[in-house]
Every structure is written in C-alpha cells, then in structure tokens.
Structure 1
C-alpha cells in the first residue's frame, strides 16, 4: 500500500522485489533519481506514469512490478532505461490448470457503524435512488422510451429522483444465448433497487417477447412494474403517459431512511487506466470495497479479461473449493472466448492505457484487481444474473462480463449494484443506470476535467492512503444518500449489452 509521499519525490517503487519504478512526473535523461536507497541515473527521458529499470534485467527474464511478473524482457534492459512495450512482452497464453490449495483465510471484522440514507424495498434491498426506469425490449421502441422519459420528468414530484429511458439496439434478430443474455440483462435491470418503478416497453413482434421477459421477474415486483406493447395501442405515447403516471403516484410516497452501510451494493470498475491507477485510485477503491464488505455488505468485481495474469490473487481468496472451481472456469472460459474468435488473450491494454504507461495486460490486471480489496470471494455469477437481497454478506462477488466500459457498468447495475466506483487515469464522461462515481488517479486529470471527476485520488501521494480513504468514504456515502454524481449532473446515463452471437 502506498503511504505518504513527498511531492519532491520523483518516482516510486511499490516493493523492494520490483525491478521497476514509476515516474511521478516527467524525468530527464541524465537525472539522478533516488529509489529505495539507491541512486538511479536515467539513460533516457521517462514520461510521467512510465517505468524505468532499477535493476538490470536480462533478455528472457520476467519483469516484476506489484511483487509479481508483468511480462518478459525481450532484450537486455539496463538500470535507468525506459521499460515499456518496446522491450517487454506479455507472458500470457491460453487456458491454465488451477489447483485448489485451501480456502482463503477469514479475517477478524469490526462492523462499521456508518450509515447512509436509502430507499428500503419490500424484498429487503436498499436503493440509493428512487427513479422510474423505462426499459425497451427492443431497439425499435428505444426512441419512444426516450420521448416518454423527457415528458415524464416534468410529471415527477417529491420522492422521485428522476425518470430515465435506457435505449439499446438489441432484442431482435438474435438467437440462443445471445438473445438470452439481452433478456437476462433487461429483466435484472428491472429488479435493481434504484428503480422504484419500471415501465417495460415492447414493440410486439420482437424476439425478446414481453411474456418471456416477465417470467424472469418475481411476482412481488409487479406492483412497481407496468407493461406497454406499442403495436397493441392506437396511441402508444398516450398509453405510456398513463402507465407512467400510475407508477409516479406510487413512488411519490417513498422516502429515504437511515440504513447501515451493509445495505450498500458496491460495483467497482476501471476505465482509461494509466500507470498511476494501480498506485492510487484502484487500491483506494479496494479500501471502499473492504469498508462495505467488513460492514456486511457486498462488493461486485467484473471485467474478467482484465484479471488475466492476476487471477491467482482472487483464487487464493475463494471461500471454498466450489467457488474456486467456478472462478477458475470463468477465467478459462473467457480465454476460450478470445481464442475461439482467433484473438490472443493478451490483446489489451488499449492505446490510451499504453500512452499512460501500462505495458502489458498482466500489469494492467495486477493494478485492476486491487479494486476488489481483500474481501473473501464468496460468489461467482454469470452475465445478466443478479444478487439475491441477502447475497454473500461480507464478501466479494465476481461477475462475468467483458472489460468494455458500457457493457461492464451495465452488467454491474443488472447484478444489483446501487452505486459504482469507477477509477480512471485518462478520463471518461460515461455513466451507467446507477451513480457512477469517477475517481481520477492523478491531479492533472482531476484539474483538467472537473466536470467529469468526483474524487481526486492523487491526494494519496501527499496525504497517504488511509487519509484519502476517509475522504472517499464520506463522498461515497453522500452520493449514496442522494448527492448527485458527476455523471448524473451531466445526464450521462446509458446501457451497453454484450452482443455475442450472429445477427439475423
């Protein structure tokens, strides 16, 4: 864990076992940099966030960061030399055989007395928002949903936080598991505790039929659910307004009440990462995951391709062999998904990640999994599946979904996340159906894009991780209690559905 670092320190190494250090600001060739008690003379310019060698590395040897290999040197690397994609390659290949060696150790927990103000639902779950969501079954009626939402926001009164439609292009011309995934996500979104009311909006002739979709939604939810088939109405807009008015009348009786932190369902996500993400924002989010799970709540980690190379850290925390087997199979099945499409499993990081200093997927993954904190892994759930109201108290759930920002944040909301912490080193305005709290890994981004960023994790390098965690916990609780996240203030809300099959 990074502790307080003076602004005068130019570079940091996370462990004495590491072969590299990360520049905290641009460094000139010939500069002498103190790292771990030794003076390193730089042989070439090192951009901020990029790495340089603090030990000689021979060609073919592993290169270590975060106490673990992040790749293999493809040429000899001298002390003080820039370490990046020109001299390091990934060591990732295909599927692996994982051996269960015992359940992850439970740690003593001190239950938090922290609370937030949320909306308690009849099934015991708690929302951080009381919104009316319009969910189209098919893209053909997506714009109709948006028009209804625009009209309905003028109808919403006290107790309702907003009316939002979530357009998407799918729900027809799909087959098998591909169609099933679309239906599962829509049905699970309808069950999210942040949706105090839901209008399921269908066309009538689509593959994603309303009758089948309704079978996925428990009967107790039906009091807060209305259904509109556009082809069955002479004036679908007028009919939609009537149904929305009915839902709003029910929702206006809802009020926030004080609830324990254990009722929070926390999604964790990263996007547009840089080399600082694994030093500041991601471990800071990990402390928020620990705060929630230690209180008895649930944190949800996804982006399975972005744990390749770091999966062992999660497997070691599986609470039993069944969870271990489910997680190892999920990792391998995702690798098969890549290989079956003729793609290498290591086709990551993105160009933005590389520009920010991330060299290989192993390095990206070792930084990314820190968002899950240290909680035991209690559950593994499939894409489109949702948590039960009392699922996995005090633990981490691993959710099947790709790394794509829109798809994975949607999958988190469908799983039941009521707030998502989203770290970024490059910046993005993207928002999901639930508050999507952007945490900048560095000061420069937070200062350049204040309209996107909710919290500046760059303070970790000045005030230390624990002090920053106190501030972020307060910000997270305030947003969970109703303070708008930046994505909400900017009306940045959207869904992305994972398209895996043929299109008819």
Structure 2
C-alpha cells in the first residue's frame, strides 16, 4: 500500500522515456523522478505510465532500457502513455546473430534446506504420492482413490494428490505425444516419492507406451493399474497405494545445499508493478539459486516476444543461442499458422493494470530470469538436465505453464502476480504479489509481498524472500497447499477426433 514515505513514481533507467505511477496522480501534479521533473497533463492511474520527455510520432518508446512500442502520435512530457498513443512493433519471425558466449561464474553453495534425497541424485521438497491418469476417462477414479488414501497416508507421507485432466484419447500425432510426454515427465518429479499411473485400456495414450518413456531405473516407485483389466479397479488402486506408502514412509528430510533446488519462475495476472517489484525480485532468486549451482526454469515463450534479445545475449554457447532462436521463432510461427498476430497480448486485465504492449509485458516478464547465463533450452514435456537457467518451451497460460515447469523438474515455483490468482500446480507454487494492496486484500492467496521492494529496498526484500523459499522448500506449506489448490493443465495443440 502506497504511503507518504514511498515515491510517487519510478523509472528503471535514464534511457527510459516513461515513469510508472506508484499512486494515483492528478492532472497538474508536479512529479520528480529520476532527476526529472514533469507537470502532468493527465490523471495517471496507479501502475500506469507517463512521459518524462517529448516523444515524436513514429519514434520508439523506451522502458527497461529497451523499446516497448511505437508512438502513434506526438506525446508530450507529462502525458499518459498507454494503448491510446503507443502500438506494438512486433510482426513475425526474426533473424538473429550470435555475438559470443556469456562467460559463466564460479559457484559456491552458501545456503541449505531440508529436502528428500532421491536415488537418482535429485532432491524433492515434498514426499507425496501422485496419481496420474493416462486418460480423462479414469480421472475421477484417481480423485476417488486420493480421497480414500488420505487415511492410509496420514502422518506417514506429505500427502496423496490426483491430477485429473480431459486428454489422452481422441488425439493424434504430436498432440498425443505432448500429452504422453508431460505425464511421463511429471511421474519423474522429485517431489513424487511414489506414483500411481492409472490406465483405462482402450485409450490412445496407452499405459505401456507411456511407461516406456520412463527410464527403467525410475520405475521402482511407480505402480500401474489398468482399469479394464481389473475385477475391482478401485481395490487394485488402493492396494498399489498401500504398497507405495509403505516404501515412502521410510523417507526422511535431510540437509541439502541450495544447489539441489529446482526453481520454476512464472508470472500471471501481471500489472505495471510486476516488472518493477515482483519479477526483478524473482530474478534475484533465480540468480541466488543458479549462483549456488542450482537450477532455475523460465518459460512462457510468447511473453518473451520483443525481449528475447536480452536472453539471447546471455546464451552459454552458440548451440544454446540457436536452440532459443528456434523455439522463439517456432512459437511465432505457431501463432501465424493459426491466423493470429504474434502481438495478441497483453490480456484485458494486463491493460487495465497499465501494460500497453506485448513488448512491455515481455521486458517485464523476462526479469524473472535474473541475469543468469542461459545454459539450456528444452522442448515442452522435456526434463531439465543442466544447472543454471533453462528456458522451457510452453505457452503463457497459467495452468499449462506451471504444469510444464513441474514436468521439467521444478520442485518449487515462484509465481508473480499483480492482480491475484489462487491457482496452484503439483509443486509448491508461491504467489509473489507485485503490490502491497493485493497482498493485504488477498492474504489467503499471497506468500510474499514484493511491495517491500519499495519500502525496504531490493536487497532486504531479496533476503526475506530467500528465507521464505528455504522455509517452504523445507516443508512449510505454500498458500496453494494450505488451500488445496493443485491442478494440471496440458497443452492441447491438435485436432480432437
């Protein structure tokens, strides 16, 4: 919540043509920001932008040291800058040129958390039993099993959770392959100390084919039930759960270095403050984890459009650079092939919050990746294999992208939001409010108030958030867990039979 002790507006860099109002401002107000004083020509809602200097029609308008759009008319200093006078410059696929690898830095582990060490060397932040249906036909069976299994698991493991979905049949080719890939990858997440895979029998996403995607060494804690082959599929499911819980009950938390954490980063329901507070703060967490030898995963490819150059400049190698350009252009082609412009974003809620173009949203969104070297780029449904910052192919949709992060191996996800959402993924999904008003209005949703960046400074806020992450990774429940908000979303890209 803005107080008289806080600044009225904020600018990121001297190169920026605009500042963002941190409180509602009136026409005629004189505002001092970044060494510049302007008298406002318009009322400026909180989170919206005003011009710090004159911008000519047709000129690029800058924020985050980069252009976020083109002025559609002359804009005078002090005017409101938004969709009425700025348009996107995005069109389609681009050619990129590799300028050289970013040099990595030596890492040193300084922090630790209490996690579950797995046989393959990975570490979970939870010891849960996950029920994954191959097809929507047995999704409700999984939910019924999870409810019944609560009594079996009570006090022995961290929980039993079923992840229903409507897919797995009437799909073809790459679309079906994506469903199978995401489910097989979820079955290998370190937070799943045991997995029950439920099949029907006649579905396109055949149980045996899905299991073949999982390495043999990872199947010792996976059980399967094919409903059409069982006299009583519910009884067979409970027997499998009892078997897994007995094994998992021997697992104990132990102290592990922060380098064992796999951190997913995501934003949703953004506002103009997201790029000033919550996303840069999450970027500091990505840098903290990768700086100690851990892994961070950045996704939402459409919300990199217009800001991909910042990530390309940090590629570890030319091979990583080429993979990132391939994934970005492939996603742009996905839009164009469906007759949609690549700039079909931001959402109405984003615009109401002050975000003008997709470039602006993207420049704010990629702040979540900090300044870490981009060490790898992976396809949707793939699992991370390297430390450092991995870019993951997935859309911006909240349910789909948080699921993709968990499938890639994230054991805890940071989710920044300026407008709020209760959504949770299979792993702890910590909501980071971009503003204190949201944090105070929705305490049941929010895990951390990034408005502290304005009150206390970035360093103090980063220290406090890292402490909170370590506590949640060590077992303290995130708000989505308290609220039992756990779900998956699968990216549907093809025809339905």
TM range (shorter): over 0.9
Within 1, Cα distance between the matches of 2:42 and 2:458? 31
Compute the displacement of 1:104 (Å): 1.2
Give the match for residue 176 of structure 2.
179
1:358 aligns with 2:355: yes
Give, in whole Å, the separation in 1 of the partners of 2:271 and 2:150.
38
Corresponding position: 1:98 with 2:107? no
* Cα distance in structure 1, aligned partners of 2:282 and 2:4: 22
For 2:345, which of 335, 344, 348 is the aligned residue? 348
- Write the distance in 2 (CA, Å) between the matches of 1:78 and 1:177: 51
Q: CA deviation at 1:340?
A: 0.2
**3-state DSSP of counterpart to 2:366:** helix
CA–CA separation in structure 1 for the residues paired with 2:398 and 2:447: 17
Q: Deviations over 1:395-437 (max 9, x none)?
A: 1000000000000000000000000000000000000000000
Residue 386 of structure 2 aligns with which residue?
392
2:421 pairs with 1:428: yes
Which residue does the alignment assign to 1:22?
Answer: 20
- Residue in 2 aligned with 1:87? 85
1:229 is aligned to: 226
Distance 1:162 1:20 in 2: 48
Q: Deviations over 1:180-226 (max 9, x none)?
A: 00000000000000000000001100000001001001112222110
1:51 aligns with 49
In the aligned structure 1, how far is the partner of 2:38 from the partner of 2:292?
44
- Equivalent of 1:495, from 474, 488, 495? 488
Contact 2:307 2:366 in 1 (8 A): yes
Match of 1:414 in 2: 407
Q: Which residue of 2 aligns with 1:66?
A: 64
Question: Which residue of structure 2 aligns with residue 326 of structure 1?
Answer: 323
What are the residue-to-residue correspondences of 1:439-458 with 2, within 5 Å?
439-458=432-451
Shift of 1:290: 0.6
Q: CA contact under 8 A between 1:174 and 1:501: conserved in structure 2?
A: yes
1:149 aligned to 143, 146, 151, which one? 146
> How much does 1:134 deviate?
0.2
- Runs of 5+ consecutive residues of structure 1 not aligned to the other structure: none
Alpha-carbon displacement from aligned partner over 1:323-375 (angstroms, at most 9, x marks no partner) = 10000011000000000000000000001111111000000000100101111
Q: Deviations over 1:62-111 (max 9, x none)?
A: 0000110000000111111100001100000100000011101324x451
1:306 equivalent among 303, 311, 316: 303
Task: State the partner residue of 1:112.
Answer: 109
Equivalences for 1:451-470 in 2 at 5 Å? 451-470=444-463
| 8 Å contact kept, 1:112–1:291 | no
Offset from partner CA, 1:370-389 (integer Å, 9 cap, x none): 101111111110000012xx
Q: Distance in 2 between matches of 1:420 and 1:81?
A: 38
- Change in 2 beyond 3 A, CA 1:439/1:202: same
RMSD of the TM alignment (CA)? 1.0
Q: Is the 8 A contact 1:159 1:254 kept in 2?
A: no
Asked if 1:336 corresponds to 2:333, the answer is: yes
1:107-136 per-residue CA deviation (whole Å, 9 max, x = no partner) reads: 4x4513210000000000000000000000
Q: Distance in 1 between matches of 2:93 and 2:263?
A: 30
Distance 2:41 2:6 in 1: 21
Shift, 1:6, TM fit: 7.5
Taking a change above 3 Å as real, the CA distance of residues 46 and 230 of structure 1, as seen in their structure-2 partners, is same
- Give 1:246's aligned residue: 243
Structure 2 equivalent of residue 475 of structure 1: 468
Q: Residues 140, 58 of structure 1: CA spacing in aligned structure 2 closer, same or farther, 3 A cutoff?
A: same
| 1:165 is aligned to 2:165 | no
Q: Which whole-Å CA distance do the structure 2 matches of 1:498 and 1:38 have between them?
A: 46
What CA distance in whole angstroms lies between the structure 2 residues aligned with 1:270 and 1:355?
16
* Residue range with higher mean Cα deviation, 216-225 or 343-352: 216-225
Q: TM-score, normalised by structure 1?
A: 0.97
Q: Structure 1 stretch 154-163 or stretch 59-68: which is displaced more?
A: 154-163
Say whether the 8 Å CA contact 2:107–2:293 is kept in structure 1. no
Matched with 1:278 is: 275
Shift in CA distance, 110/205, structure 1 to aligned 2, threshold 3 Å: closer
Q: Secondary structure at the match of 1:154?
A: helix
Instruction: Give 3-state SS (helix, strand or coil) of 2:201's partner.
Output: coil
Q: What secondary structure is seen at the aligned counterpart in 2 of 1:223?
A: coil
